[in-house]
Amino acid sequence: MEQGPQYVIEMRDIVKDFPGIRANDHITLKLRKGEIHALLGENGAGKSTLMSVLFGMYQPDEGSIYKDGEKVIIRSPNDATALHIGMVHQHFKLVECFTVLDNIILGDEDSKGGWIKKKASKKKCLDLMRKYGLDVSLDSLVSDISVGMQQRAEILKMLYRDNDILIFDEPTAVLTPQEIENLMKTMKAMAKEGKSILFISHKLNEIMEVSDTCTVLRKGKYIGTVATKDTDAAKLAEMMVGHEVHFTVDKSPSKPKDVVLSVADLCVKNPFSHKETVKDVSFKVRAGEIVCIAGIEGNGQTELVNAITGLEPVKRGTITLSGADITDKSIRERIKGGMSHIPEDRQKYGLVLDYNIEQNFVIEQYREEKFAKRGWIKFSARKAYSDELISRYDVRSSQGSRTITRSMSGGNQQKVIVGRELDKEHSLLIAVQPTRGLDVGAVEDIHKKIIADRDAGRAVLLVSLEIDEVMNLADRILVIYEGEIVGSLDPKKVTIPELGLYMAGAKRMTINGDIITNSKKSSRSLGGDR
């Protein structure tokens, strides 16, 4: 391969080790000026680590980085900024109570005698916005603007600093399809102006659409770099996972029986903004069926689940579990009533990370006769139960039941939660993003277990942001948009683009089943508040 300044960034043979794991194993990445270079790989393939190395957040154990053909050592994000490398993180780094403009100039303020001069900065921002078609309201507080606009603010922040190498870490995960489209336009405009873009994603269609070149990583290893125009999505998928990909899971038709969960006219209010995050939601989940709530992140799914599981109070409406009104019941009563819950955030809610596997397995049942006698813990019974679950759910750990869950990988942490929730006596399983961040094998495994749980006669309420997961598992799809259920669909009949229209709010069903196509609404959602 040629060397030299034809590449603006060259990362050669990068190795980065974490305790027990090699996150990057001799990875080479070459970025040309003015190209959009996609970095593709599953969760855990090492994409974010590689970008963190480039951005100076990690130091590589081996390998070196060249900018314009010259070797550079990037010790911190400050070094990266000095080299005009900018990054839009997956979780934005904005000060919520500052205005957008303040956020953009933060750390790079123009000042005179200690007074900040904003006028020139604002002009520069406006010029940039015009040039790249970025719609940002500079004087709004960050807390008041939509996620999409926050992202544009982050992009503007990079441009303001005259960065010419821009890293985007999974930028589309939080956006609506329309916002994604606009982002793509902006990216193309920036590339045209000579900016070089690194774009992390595991969404094949986006990569096919926007990128010029694509580098694929798998389990920390470099698989290859291809020109996007010479390949297709199926080939990229194969490179990404290492074998041909079957996106579907075998599953027999559902045989719904009695209603297990019934939600009627449920409203949830955000305690801070007093906005209704869930609006008059009604649905039923029957034993033996998987009902899936589909929607783009932040459309009220979290709040809906929190209300059903008791983590958040309900403003109005009723929740009934197996015939009993549980609207105002405590979480423990709900659990005893047969509710199992695989939470969205496994580290915040699912596990006490500093407890070991054994303790986490019984965290809902520790007071029951099986595991305690007159308030004293039955250690041997607990250990036996934990050992059994470890082998049944194939939880891998260094010290068996005594492994502190913090030291385990995300997949195994999830197995602990899934094992606990499925093994517990339950009639309803609520699974929120049960496969987030897991590799393909683990995903398939969890999908099978959820289907098995359905076939065993449990009602399953699945909340997922992944369209593939929704289409694969659901017996019925409910689409949630801005806190409302806007469609009840049959996964066998609906197409993915159509589902997308519902999720974006461009289409909705009325109570009597009529379908309204609302083009106005979709355009409003572009820059508007969610």
Partner 1 sequence: MSQSLINKKRFGFISFDSVRSFGASLICILIGLLIGFLIMLFSSFSIDGADPISGLAYLFSGPFTALDPLQDFGNMIFYTVPLIFTSLSVAIAYKTGLFNIGAPGQFLMGTMAGLLIALGINSVGNPVQGVFVWILAIVAGGVAGMLWGLIPGFLKVFFGINEVIVTIMTNWIAANVFTWVFSLDGLKGMVNTASGKTGYLITTSLTGNSTPDLGLGALTHNSYLDIGIFLAIIVAVLIWLLLNKTTIGFSMRACGLNKFSARYAGINDKWNIVLAMAIAGALAGFAGVSYYLHAGIEIQYQSVYQKLPDYGFSGIAGAFLANCNPIGCIFAALFIRYINASGTNLVSVGYNRYFADIIIAVIIYLAGFTSFFKNLLKIHHKNSVNSQPGGKAKVPLPDDSKPETEKPQKGEIR
Q: Give the nearest distance from C-beta 164 to partner 1 in angstroms.
A: 29
- Environment class of 79 (CB within 10 Å of its CB; exposed 0-12, middle 13-18, buried 19+): middle
Pick the closer one to partner 1 by CB: 443 or 470: 443
Pick the closer one to partner 1 by CB: 118 or 219: 219
Pick the closer one to partner 1 by CB: 268 or 478: 268
Pick the closer one to partner 1 by CB: 141 or 353: 353
Q: What are the CB-based long-range contacts (under 8 Å, 24+) for 336-340?
A: 338/260, 338/425, 338/426, 338/427, 338/428, 339/309, 339/426, 339/427, 339/428, 339/430, 340/421, 340/422, 340/424, 340/426, 340/428, 340/429, 340/430
| Residue partners of 253: CB distance under 8 A and separation at least 6 | 475
Q: Give the nearest distance from C-beta 332 to partner 1 in angstroms.
A: 3
Region of residue 124 (phi > 0: left; psi between -120 and 50: alpha; otherwise: beta): alpha
Q: Give the nearest distance from C-beta 467 to partner 1 in angstroms.
A: 20
Q: Give the nearest distance from C-beta 38 to partner 1 in angstroms.
A: 19
| Whole-number Å distance between alpha carbons of 9 and 32 | 7
Q: Give the nearest distance from C-beta 436 to partner 1 in angstroms.
A: 9
Q: Give the nearest distance from C-beta 172 to partner 1 in angstroms.
A: 17
Q: Give the nearest distance from C-beta 311 to partner 1 in angstroms.
A: 7
Which two three-digit tokens encode residue 528? Answer: 């508007």
Q: Give the nearest distance from C-beta 106 to partner 1 in angstroms.
A: 26
Pick the closer one to partner 1 by CB: 439 or 482: 439
Pick the closer one to partner 1 by CB: 118 or 221: 221
**Binding region for partner 1 (CB under 8 A):** 18-23, 42-46, 48, 219-220, 309, 311, 330-336, 341, 343, 346-356, 359, 363-364, 366-367, 372, 375-377, 379, 396-399, 402-404, 406-413, 437, 439, 441-442
Closest to 483 (Cα-Cα) out of 305, 280, 316: 280
Q: Give the nearest distance from C-beta 412 to partner 1 in angstroms.
A: 6
Pick the closer one to partner 1 by CB: 244 or 369: 369
Compute φ and ψ for 227, nearest 5 degrees.
-80, 130
Pick the closer one to partner 1 by CB: 25 or 280: 25
Q: Give the nearest distance from C-beta 358 to partner 1 in angstroms.
A: 9
Pick the closer one to partner 1 by CB: 71 or 367: 367
Pick the closer one to partner 1 by CB: 146 or 403: 403
3-31 per-residue burial string, b: 16 or more CB within 10 A, e: under 16: eeeebbbbbbebbbeeeeebbbbebebbb
DSSP readout, 355-412? SBHHHHHTTTTTTSTTTEETTEE-HHHHHHHHHHHHHHTT---SSGGG-BGGGS-HHH
Pick the closer one to partner 1 by CB: 99 or 397: 397
Vertex 21 angle, CA 17 and 26, to 5°: 50
| Residue partners of 302: CB distance under 8 A and separation at least 6 | 344, 432
| Whole-number Å distance between alpha carbons of 140 and 134 | 15
Q: Give the nearest distance from C-beta 109 to partner 1 in angstroms.
A: 32
Pick the closer one to partner 1 by CB: 135 or 368: 368
Which two three-digit tokens encode residue 353? Answer: 């990370």
Which two three-digit tokens encode residue 430? Answer: 């609520």
Q: What are the CB-based long-range contacts (under 8 Å, 24+) for 500-503?
A: 500/177, 500/467, 502/294, 503/176, 503/177, 503/294, 503/295, 503/296, 503/299, 503/479
Whether residue 319 contacts residue 327, with contact meaning beta carbons closer than 8 Å, is answered with yes
| Whole-number Å distance between alpha carbons of 392 and 423 | 10
Q: Give the nearest distance from C-beta 414 to partner 1 in angstroms.
A: 9
Whether residue 507 contacts residue 498, with contact meaning beta carbons closer than 8 Å, is answered with yes
Which two three-digit tokens encode residue 448? Answer: 């099978």
